Amino acid sequence: MITEFESLKAYNTFGVSAQARYFARFQSIEELRELLEHETIRTNKRLILGGGSNMLFTRNFDGVLLKNELKGIQKISEDEHHYFIQSAAGEVWHELVMHCISANYAGIENLALIPGCVGASPMQNIGAYGVEIKDVFHSLEAININDGSLRVFKLDECKFGYRESVFKREEKDKWIIVSVTFRLKKRAVLHTSYGAIEEELDSMHLDNVSIKDVAKAVINIRSSKLPDPKKIGNAGSFFKNPVVPMQVYRAIQEKHNNAPCFPIDESHVKVPAGWLIERAGWKGKNLGNYGVHDKQALVLVNYGGATGSQIYDLSTAIISDIKQKFGIELEREVNIIA
d(CA 7, CA 19): 5
Q: Of 109, 132, 200, 333, which residue is the catalytic one?
A: 333
Q: What is the dihedral of CA 332, 334, 335, 338, to 10 degrees?
A: -80
User: What is the chain's alpha carbon radius of gyration, rounded to the nearest angstrom?
Assistant: 20
Please, are residues 110 and 141 in contact by the beta-carbon 8 Å criterion? no
Is 223 a residue of the active site?
no
Q: Of 25, 46, 53, 163, which residue is the catalytic one?
A: 163
Q: Which of 301, 302, 297, 258 is nearest to 281 (CA)?
A: 297
d(CA 236, CA 228): 9
Sign of CA dihedral 13, 14, 16, 18: negative
Q: Of 121, 179, 237, 315, which residue is the catalytic one?
A: 237
Angle at the Cα of 117 (from 194 to 186), degrees rounded to 5? Answer: 55
Q: Which of 258, 275, 236 is nearest to 114 (CA)?
A: 236
Is 333 a residue of the active site?
yes
Angle at the Cα of 65 (from 289 to 311), degrees rounded to 5? Answer: 20
Q: What is the DSSP string of 287-298?
A: -SSEEE-SS-TT
* Nearby residues of 115 by Cβ (< 8 Å), 6 or more positions away: 13, 51, 53, 54, 93, 94, 229, 235, 236
d(CA 43, CA 145): 12
Is 171 a residue of the active site?
no
Query: Would you please indicate which residues are annotated as catalytic (active-site) residues?
Result: 163, 237, 333
